[in-house]
Structure formats: C-alpha cells, structure tokens
Structure 1
Amino acid sequence: MRTTAIAIASLATLMRHAPATYLESTFANYFSTGPVATNSWIREANTTLVLPKTNDPQVGNLALWPGMGTSNGDLIQALAISVAADSDSAEQEEGTLVPAGPGSLVTMHYKFNDTSSKYDQTVSLNGTVVSKLSTTSGHAQGWGTAIECQETECGYVPGHKYINTKITMDVADPDYSQTLATYNATGDLTTADGGLTWTVDTIVIGATTFAAS
C-alpha cells in the first residue's frame, strides 16, 4: 500500500507516546536557520510543502517536516509521513492520519499565542485545516526543515519544495540570514523590514537515497 499521511505533534508528545523500542532516525538534506539573536525569538512561522511522490521502495518511516527548536529544548514539528501498511509510525503520532497524494499542498503554520503562552500549530491540506495542536514549548529559537528516515533505510526520496515560507520575529533580527545552513538544498532568505520578518519564496530540497551501508 502506498500512502502519504499528515500528522502534527510536539517532540514532548512524540516521546510520551513512542514505542518501547526506540526507532533510530537518520537525517538528510536540510535548510536550517537559527539561533535567533539573544534578544528575540520566533513568534510565527508559515510554509507550504508540495508533496513529492512516496519513497521507493516505501519502507521505513519517512518524514518531511519544518520544525522549530525552542528555549525549553522542545521541538515544534508538523510532519508529512510516508508510511507502509506494516509501519510502526502510528505509535508515535498525535491525532488521526490524513491521506494525501503527490502534488498536494501541506501548509504548516506555527504561531505563539500571547493569551495561553503556547504555540498554536495548524496543518492544512490543499487549503482545508486537517490538524490543530497547542503546546507549551517556551520560545522558538530557529526554524528549519529536513528529510528524516526512521526504523530502516527508506530508499529513494524524490526532490521536493517548500513555498511561501515566512518567519516573523518578536524583535527584529537583522543578521538572521547569517545563520542559514543548507545541505543539498537551496533558497534565498530575505527581509524587507530590517529583520522583523524573513521570507523564502521557494526552498528546493534535493533528492536523496537512504541505503544500507
């Protein structure tokens, strides 16, 4: 069975619901920013993942995500996960799996709520909200995306892209672009207001292969 599923969770939730046997993760191709200046933090972040085809062969638990590390040591992270019928990944997920096909637009929106002091996390699929979660996570210190493979080698992962990425700071951080680090990924991180908001029109993540060494 070939399917891609959408899930949303914080790292704390994932750890509480993880199976007793730890599923080792391997990471590849990333676009990473942060940490922020010492007097600032990320109030809001929004991006849209254009889903690629599933990995081939569809083995392991393959996750594509944008995440934000926080001052509490947590990770705010919505995930698009490629899962096979016999995968263990459901034991780690928070909420109901939502199927999606290649070319679908998955928008991940994280926003700090001043009233609750939590990050409200919303995932939309082709413009329709499919998942919400609010977490007490401190203040976000950076934003980035990567390819993650769990459990076993995930095979070939097609290239893909994120569009309309916007990161909004609490206080302007004019030097934030200097924190950008990439591996087999491209995208121009720019600001038009002195570092209060940062945008990337398109982040292109190259294809990769997770194979036994």
Structure 2
Amino acid sequence: MKTTTAVIASLATLSQLACATYLESTFANYFSTGPVATNSWIREANTTLVLPKTNSPQVGNLALWPGMGTSGGDLIQALAISSDNGETCTTESGFWCITASTLESEQIEGTLVPAAAGSLVTMHYKYNDTSSQYDQTVSLNGTVVSKISTSSGHAQGWGTAIECQETECGFVPGHKYINTKLTMDVADPDYGQTLATYNATGELTTADGGLTWTVATIVIGATTFSAS
C-alpha cells in the first residue's frame, strides 16, 4: 500500500502511528518489533495470516500486511487487499486480493490472486546472499501464488499493520497471524524488548539466545475506520 517514508522509518515503533494519517492512509491496531541491534538485521521472516471476513461495508482501500522496514528505505510488505476502487483481482464481493509487494519509490507487486475468508496466507521474506535481494513469496493454503525479489538493503524491524486509504473503510474484523518466525543475521538477545503493541497480543520468544524469534499466535483486535 502506498505510504510515506515516515511510516517506513518508524515501522518498528508503530505505536506512534496509531490512528495517524499520512497521504490519506490511516493505521490501526498492530504488533510491532524492532529496531534490530546495530550489528544485526533480519535475514528471514515467515508468518501466516488467517484471513478474516472483509471489511463491512467493503469500501475504501483496506490492507492487512506484515512488513519489514529496511536500511535501503524500502518497506517489504506482502498485502491482503480489500478494495472497492478497481484495484482488485476479482469482481466478487467478500474476497481479498493477496500479493507479494515492496514499497520503494513506488509500489512493486507480484501477481494479485483472490482469496476467501478463512484462507491461510503465508508471507515469506528471505535474504538471498547471491543476489543481495529479498526473495518474497506469498502462498495461499500451501501453494505459492505470488512472488517478487527486490534490492532493499537489510531489514531493520518487522510488524503488522491495518491500513485504510481513500475513504473510511468501515468495520475490520479481528484476525490472527500464526507461526511467525524471524531469523537474525547474528543473535540479538535484546530484540524482545523492542516489542510494541496496540490492541494486539502475542508472545515474542527466543530459544537460542536471540538468533531466532517466534510468536505462536498474534491476535489483532477488530477496529472501525469512520469519519470523526
């Protein structure tokens, strides 16, 4: 989703962005981690979004995404989009459009694929040492459906977002991410102290001194985007 460098730079502290507006984008509940220690970065991130029902009414341009802000100023953010403005992969109401995506100076997207509520959408980001790019894949119920690779520097943090653009997006149901795993370049034993949440729960833990961090279930509360 289009956003500003302010959002990218502060992905690790999304608490500062709750209900704040940038370029007609409004953000709500989140689970946010980062920044990494100065000697490390996130090599790999994997999570599975259990798609809720679409927003009600299905208006505006709504996205759910887990993102990584990078040292290159990019935002790696696979998307689940609910839209009424024509940026869609299906004309059937009640469906999401999912895609691999990175926000650089403009949005770069892979294939857009429709997905129903209840589907499991796995978003996987992995740094490729050979190409110096992040390889990104999005899988729908276990099958890869969208992918891109981008030169983005090194990931400095990881977090979830609910983003509404263009008009009030109505009621957004609560939803969850499962089996989240972050793998650092070198162990970052204090990374758990960077956790910030807003109307969200989840326990960020490590069993190997901070090389890998996991969250079994992230629960994001429901929210409503409406005119003030």
User: In which range does the TM-score fall when normalised by the shorter chain?
Assistant: 0.7 to 0.9
Distance 1:145 1:172 in 2: 22
* Equivalent position to 2:178, from 145, 150, 163: 163
1:126 to 138, 141, 162: 141
Aligned partner (choices 198, 212, 226) of residue 197 of structure 1: 212
Report % sequence identity: 87
* Number of equivalenced pairs: 196
Contact 2:119-2:140 within 8 A present in 1 as well? yes
Quote the Cα distance in structure 2 between the aligned partners of 1:168 and 1:89. 33
Partner of 1:25: 25
Q: Structure 1 stretches (4+) deviating beyond 3 angstroms?
A: 86-93
Tell me the SS of whatever aligns to 2:28.
strand
Deviations 1:15-52, CA, capped at 9 Å, x for gaps = xxxxxxx9611000000000000000000000000000
Alignment of 1:175-186 (within 5 A): 175-186=190-201
> What residue number does 1:187 align with?
202
Q: 2: distance between equivalents of 1:68 and 1:165?
A: 13
Deviations 1:52-83 (A, max 9, x none): 00000110011000000000111011000012
Residue 94 of structure 1 and its aligned partner are, at CA, apart by: 2.0
The alignment yields a C-alpha RMSD, in angstroms, of 2.3
Q: For residue 100 of structure 1, report the CA deviation from its aligned partner.
A: 0.7
Unaligned runs of 5+ residues in structure 1 are 1-7, 13-21
Task: Tell me the CA shift for residue 97 of structure 1.
Answer: 2.0
Report the AA paired with residue 71 of structure 1: S
1:92 offset after TM fit, Å? 5.6
- The answer to whether the 8 A contact 1:61-1:87 is kept is no
For 2:223, the aligned partner's letter is T
Q: 2:116: which partner in 1?
A: 101
The alpha carbon displacement at 1:111 in A equals 0.2
In the alignment, which residue of structure 1 is the partner of 2:82? Answer: 82
Q: Structure 2 unaligned runs (5+)?
A: 6-21, 90-105
Q: Is the 8 A contact 2:112 2:146 kept in 1?
A: no
Give the TM-score taking structure 1 as reference length.
0.87
CA distances 1:157-195 after superposition (whole Å, capped 9, x unpaired): 000000000000000000000000000000000000000
CA distance in 2, matches of 1:150, 1:35: 26
Partner of 1:73: 73
Deviation at 1:93, TM superposition (A): 6.3
Is the Cα contact below 8 Å between 2:110 and 2:148 reproduced in 1? no
Q: Does 1:48 align with 2:52?
A: no
Would the aligned equivalents of 1:95 and 1:131 in 2 still touch at CA under 8 Å?
yes
1:102-144 C-alpha deviation (Å, 9 max, x unpaired): 1000000000000000000000000000011000000000000
For 1:147 and 1:58, the matched residues in 2 are separated by 15
Separation of aligned partners in 2, 1:92 and 1:34: 23
For residue 65 of structure 2, what is the amino acid of its counterpart? W
